[in-house]
Structure 1
Amino acid sequence: MLELLVKYARDHDLKAEPGFKPKPVRWFIVCDKEGRFLDVAELGDTEAKKNPGQPFQKCPDLSQPELVSGSEMRSHFLVDTAEVVALLGKGSEDPKVQEKHRYFVKLLREAGRSMPELATAAHLLEDEQFLLKIRERLQAGKAKPTDKVTLKVGDCVLVESDAWHDWWREFRRGLSSARTTKKSRGSKGESAHLMRCFASGEMVEPVATHPKITGLADVGGQASGSALIGFDKDAFRSYHLSQSANAAVSEGVANAYRAAIDDLLRKHSQRLAGAKVIHWFKKHVPPEDDPLAWLEVGEEEQERSAQQRAEDLLESLRTGKRVDLLGNYFYAMTLSGSGGRVMVRDWMEGQFERLLESIHQWFSDLEIVNWSGSKAAKTPGLEKVITSLLPPQKPQQRYDDWVKPIGAERLALWHAATRWDTPIPYSVLSRLVVLDTKFRVSGTFEDALKNHEKDPKSFAILASLLHARMGLMKAYHLRKERMKGGKEMPQDLKPYLNEDHPSPAYHCGRLMAVLADVQRAALGDVGAGVVQRYYAAASATPALVLGRLTRTSQFHLNKLEPGLAHWFETIIAGIWGRIKDTIPRTLTLEEQSLFALGYYQQMARIKAGKTDSK
């Protein structure tokens, strides 16, 4: 894994030199060549709701040990937070922040011997009147104390210049020498020794602590970064080795894998219910041909069906039209944070063609008719499919707390989407059945349907949720049958209604849908109707409910026009003909899901028929 990450960094020419890393900067503090304050300027996408700022590829960077070693309070050089650079927020009152600010200015002044503009910037930040104006302008722009800030002198963007690079390298060597001297004094003269690098296989002097991964703060990590490799507790260590000597890599390799993960998190990652999946390929794959990207947005945000795109690309591979993709491999890591640590939840690698087949199969298994019966629903992204296993997020509920109960299902569905022969767990179906029953009984969808012209956005969200749940129920049964080597289920369980389905449970669901529509046709909106009152009982114990509801429907049929009544009677008789004398007394959980699918697909058929008749 480390070797592949290091190779990615080298193949993509990432700046992995120790002491440097890419950083996003939100604000420029701008002064003239004499050091007089002019203004502040916001960088990045200023219209975005969450503007991360503009990335700069080679910013100076100190590791955590470099920041905390020594007797003085240290800050980063040239790029740091608005709190440190301008004493924004409570920084003007906090002695520790003030000490960091003085260190920031001190570095600028020392580096000014190599680049005069840095000394000019130091002069600006030493002036209390200028600092006050800087804070006022940052506050007016609604800057946060944690926003990253750097300086611009005249037309010179200091962080983009390489004039200070040699000074910075020498400065870090001085820090390293001081730490090494202190360490050797505390280790009774024990000298550093070479070890075999885990990633390169070469003999190297292992770096004591590894650089931190940023970009996981929204999935449990720290804003300052989290360590992928770290041994800060005695229980984590072996053979009397200290710190990261327990997994020896050189400083260059550590910076390379950090640069690779940071780059992948920015460019090739997708959020997955409290985790992030990063992926890359052995050989270049054009963005439009990246099947893992299709999983992120599904088909709802694509003009062209992802399933069709997968079919076309597979055909191109098999006919030799896309030789550039032959023999390619993919790699994927599922990451989350746990405070200061990176948690690797999953690692996956395999052939590109097999991945393409799997994702094509995923979309095929999920395919389901839309609620109106007019066409196949567009498959939602994997994140939406996974979160369909949850009740609605409560107001003020943190996202991490909301998705926490489905950690195991998240990983299982990720595997199911990327490996065609992976079953969907029973726990997924269990959650789906319970949630769908509550959804039906609550009448939420019917209420939203009545008001969909007034609030189309809310209705679209509910419709997408319904499609995700129904598609996932269907996929569960298809995968289970496929694992057993059966061939009947794919023929029986289709995206649209199947009047010849062999399961009585499926037809019980169909019957419930028709009886509910009979009541609506006869009585209109009567508040709590057949579905709200009897769906839960009918889906669990159909023999106790459906016979009585069928008899009651005769009163409703008598209120309809003869032609419409005859049409309903024909459908009801046909469904009872399928059930015959085998109406189940109770339904298992799997049968309840078939009941739900029968109900849904029959309702879609009814709605499509009404649309056609208008």
Structure 2
Amino acid sequence: MLKALYDYAQRMNLTLPVGYAEKTIKAFLCLTEDGDFVGVRIDGVNPFRCPDIGSLNQGNKCNMLVEKCSVIFPSEPTPKSRFFREGMKDLSKTEPLAEICWKALENPQCCADMAAALEQHKLKPSDRVSFIVENTYLVECPAVETWWQDYRRQFQTPVEDDRLSLCLITGEPTAPMATVPKSTGLRVVGGHPNGDALICFDKSAFCSYGLKKSANAPVSEEAFAQVRVALDTLLQDAPVLAGMKFVHWYDKPLQKQEQDIIFPIFGSLTPEEEDEEDEEGGNNRPEEDTAIMQQARRDADRMVRSVESGQAVTDLPNSYYILLLSGVNGRVMVRRFAQGCYKKLKASLDRWYVDLQLANPGGTGNLRPAKLTARLIRLLKRQNADKNVLKRLNEELSGLSAPILQAILYGSRLPDSVAVRALQYIRSQMLTQEPDRHGSLLPDPIACQWLKVWLIRNHKEDDLMPEYNPKHPNPAYHIGAMVAVYAALQKKAYPDVNVTVVQRFFASAQQTPALVLGRLAKMSTHYLAKLENKWLVQEYEARLAEISTRIGDSIPTVLDLPEQSLFALGYYQMSAAMNAERRQRYENSSVSADQNKGE
């Protein structure tokens, strides 16, 4: 992992000088050549390469040239403020602009004017501040880098030759860093505001073979500086997924459309962006988003085919790398590190798409794509009005999202808890949700997709298709279909019923069908008698008889987890099939009416 990040920094030319870090500076104090203070320039957007003292900043020392307002302008002198001015004085020996800044800080009136100006611009004590002299940024002066490399050596502990170790990153002999600089970018996933350490051995449980602290993972300062800048760069645009930062990169640069192979699947969602389902077409994604995803898929198909055919029309990356990261008590927690061949990743993603295929509620086609965050929400306990769904996602699925990603990336099995949670979501929905405008009440389509993938991968259910399969061998599947027919029959006979068959019997029929189906069959005779359309009565009777034949002579007393999942899928797919038939009848009747008018 460290070597992959190191190589990425080298390849993308992200290297920084040792002892430097990229930082945004909120405001610059502007001075003239004579040392007069002339105002404040607000920035806070563009990153600057700044001297960084690392973990020593936690003590009585601070960073040079760029620091917090509270350090540069304290109400009373502090060790940090004195350290800052001593460094500025030392730099002034080689850089004339630094001498101007140091004298301004030593001038009580000028110092008070600068502090007042910062307060007038409503800067916080934690905002970073630096200096500009005659439109020249102090941190960009050529003499600064040379001075800083010499000045910082006084704070380093000399290492004898017999204490040298081989660097884990480069393999070269090195003096191991006692502490590594902290990485930023994990604050939204539990990280510390001051950053998190990727390597630390402050607990004896993290040490081995009698080695102390950094000797357990020796890295050179030069090599780790590149690892850090690579990680910080990748974290900037990494999406958040279930309380983790999803970081990924390739061993060769990619065009944006090639990167979209992964991002549309694992991209983050806010509750406002979450796709709404309807009977007509499932998830209503914007057409342009769907087009981008389809184009990205076509690009990847062409890349893979070019390799297989020997006609290399484009450069195919050899490997991908994926990191799932979060912050815990000032440390970087690596939840998952994966790497592999891009071609195999493409094959796994294709399998994921195929396993997910499921008819939409209207039966007019398959469900449209949904992002993984929207899918993970279906594994939470269902709440009708949930304003903190993403926070709950981070807390409740922190241990489940990583194995799910592993299953997607490698085409492997899903945890059983996926099926358990999806079924709980469906049962809650069927109990509390009201039917739609057509009187239908279907299980959540995305939750059903979870069940379908879990059954295919964990229980080899090769008979599952996107639409209802009348030849499926398991009775539990057809029992669910029969309950869907009973629900439709009740709604046809009693459109204004207060409590539906689904709301009363779905959960019990899903778990103990032998105790429920007899009662539902008896109730159906009353529903059929209520219908005035004889053709409709015959249709329902024929459908129920056909399903009964598929169930067989014995009805299971208790359904286990796979059978409960098949029940839910049978119910959903039969409902979608009946919705498609209803729409087709309506369209046919409309066409006939138009033809009669024309005649």
* Contact 1:389 1:432 survives alignment (8 Å): yes
1:313 Cα shift? 4.0
1:557-596 to structure 2, matched below 5 A, reads 557-562=528-533, 563-596=535-568
* Contact 1:18 1:251 survives alignment (8 Å): yes
For residue 342 of structure 1, give the secondary structure of its aligned residue in structure 2.
strand
Report whether the alignment pairs 1:347 with 2:318.
Answer: no
Give, in whole Å, the separation in 2 of the partners of 1:148 and 1:606: 64
1:68 Cα shift? 4.1
1:353 Cα shift? 0.8
Aligned to 1:49: none
Question: Number of residue pairs matched?
Answer: 555
1:474 Cα shift? 0.6
Letter in 2 for 1:252: E
* Contact 1:310 1:357 survives alignment (8 Å): no
Note the alpha carbon deviations across 1:372-414, whole angstroms, 9 max, x for none: 3333222322333334321257868695665344344222211
* Contact 1:370 1:604 survives alignment (8 Å): yes
Give, in whole Å, the separation in 1 of the partners of 2:445 and 2:36: 61
Aligned to 1:286: 255
* Contact 1:40 1:138 survives alignment (8 Å): no
Report whether the alignment pairs 1:496 with 2:476.
Answer: no
Aligned to 1:14: 14
Report whether the alignment pairs 1:403 with 2:394.
Answer: yes
1:197-276 to structure 2, matched below 5 A, reads 197-238=167-208, 241-267=211-237, 269-276=238-245
1:80 Cα shift? 3.3
Cα 1:80/1:395, change in 2 over 3 Å: farther
1:194 Cα shift? 1.7
Letter in 2 for 1:544: L
1:475 Cα shift? 0.7
1:114-513 to structure 2, matched below 5 A, reads 114-120=94-100, 127-138=111-122, 145-153=125-133, 155-176=135-156, 179-180=157-158, 193-238=163-208, 241-267=211-237, 269-290=238-259, 291-297=261-267, 300=285, 301-303=289-291, 304-305=293-294, 310-322=300-312, 324-326=314-316, 328-392=318-382, 402-420=393-411, 422-443=412-433, 446=435, 449=436, 466-482=444-460, 489-490=461-462, 492-513=463-484
1:552 Cα shift? 1.5
For residue 277 of structure 1, give the secondary structure of its aligned residue in structure 2.
strand
* Contact 1:295 1:381 survives alignment (8 Å): yes
Cα 1:443/1:131, change in 2 over 3 Å: same
* Contact 2:322 2:337 survives alignment (8 Å): yes
Give, in whole Å, the separation in 1 of the partners of 2:571 and 2:67: 58
Give, in whole Å, the separation in 2 of the partners of 1:571 and 1:85: 81
* Contact 1:390 1:403 survives alignment (8 Å): no
Give, in whole Å, the separation in 1 of the partners of 2:466 and 2:539: 24
1:438 Cα shift? 1.3
Give, in whole Å, the separation in 2 of the partners of 1:134 and 1:588: 67
* Contact 2:377 2:393 survives alignment (8 Å): no
Cα 1:552/1:392, change in 2 over 3 Å: closer
For residue 121 of structure 2, give the secondary structure of its aligned residue in structure 1.
helix
Give, in whole Å, the separation in 1 of the partners of 2:357 and 2:511: 26
Note the alpha carbon deviations across 1:261-303, whole angstroms, 9 max, x for none: 2222224x34331222322222333232133324323995442
TM-score (norm 2): 0.83
Letter in 1 for 2:409: T
For residue 164 of structure 1, give the secondary structure of its aligned residue in structure 2.
helix
Q: Give the superposed CA RMSD.
A: 3.3
1:473 Cα shift? 0.8
For residue 400 of structure 2, give the secondary structure of its aligned residue in structure 1.
helix
1:309 Cα shift? 5.5
Aligned to 1:485: none
Letter in 1 for 2:544: I
* Contact 1:28 1:43 survives alignment (8 Å): yes
Give, in whole Å, the separation in 2 of the partners of 1:308 and 1:323: 14
* Contact 2:88 2:101 survives alignment (8 Å): yes
Letter in 2 for 1:61: D
* Contact 1:497 1:605 survives alignment (8 Å): yes
* Contact 2:303 2:313 survives alignment (8 Å): no
* Contact 2:246 2:325 survives alignment (8 Å): yes
Cα 1:588/1:240, change in 2 over 3 Å: closer
Letter in 2 for 1:170: D
* Stretches of structure 2 lacking an aligned partner (at least 5 in a row): 269-282, 588-599
Give, in whole Å, the separation in 2 of the partners of 1:497 and 1:154: 75
1:57-76 to structure 2, matched below 5 A, reads 58-64=49-55, 66-68=56-58, 73-76=60-63
Aligned to 1:187: none
Give, in whole Å, the separation in 1 of the partners of 2:126 and 2:496: 54
Note the alpha carbon deviations across 1:225-267, whole angstroms, 9 max, x for none: 2222222234433455433122222111221222222222224
Give, in whole Å, the separation in 1 of the partners of 2:131 and 2:311: 51
* Stretches of structure 1 lacking an aligned partner (at least 5 in a row): 45-53, 185-189, 452-461, 483-488
For residue 493 of structure 1, give the secondary structure of its aligned residue in structure 2.
coil
Q: 1:528 aligns with which of 491, 496, 499?
A: 499
Note the alpha carbon deviations across 1:30-58, whole angstroms, 9 max, x for none: 535354353453544xxxxxxxxx333x2
1:312 Cα shift? 4.3
* Contact 2:29 2:131 survives alignment (8 Å): yes
1:523-562 to structure 2, matched below 5 A, reads 523-562=494-533
Give, in whole Å, the separation in 2 of the partners of 1:192 and 1:68: 29
Cα 1:550/1:82, change in 2 over 3 Å: farther
Give, in whole Å, the separation in 1 of the partners of 2:117 and 2:166: 54
* Contact 1:307 1:360 survives alignment (8 Å): no
Cα 1:438/1:21, change in 2 over 3 Å: same
Note the alpha carbon deviations across 1:340-376, whole angstroms, 9 max, x for none: 2222222222221111111111121122222333332
Letter in 2 for 1:504: P
Q: 1:77 aligns with which of 61, 64, 83?
A: 64
Note the alpha carbon deviations across 1:315-360, whole angstroms, 9 max, x for none: 3432344464457122223322221222222222222111111111
Aligned to 2:488: 517
Cα 1:227/1:603, change in 2 over 3 Å: same
1:135 Cα shift? 1.8
Cα 1:32/1:17, change in 2 over 3 Å: closer
* Contact 1:6 1:260 survives alignment (8 Å): yes
Note the alpha carbon deviations across 1:479-511, whole angstroms, 9 max, x for none: 1245xxxxxx33x21122223322221112122
* Contact 1:307 1:364 survives alignment (8 Å): no
Cα 1:597/1:55, change in 2 over 3 Å: farther
For residue 591 of structure 1, give the secondary structure of its aligned residue in structure 2.
helix
Give, in whole Å, the separation in 2 of the partners of 1:114 and 1:149: 22
Give, in whole Å, the separation in 2 of the partners of 1:99 and 1:9: 36
For residue 550 of structure 1, give the secondary structure of its aligned residue in structure 2.
helix
Aligned to 2:42: 41
Give, in whole Å, the separation in 2 of the partners of 1:341 and 1:17: 24
* Contact 2:27 2:128 survives alignment (8 Å): no
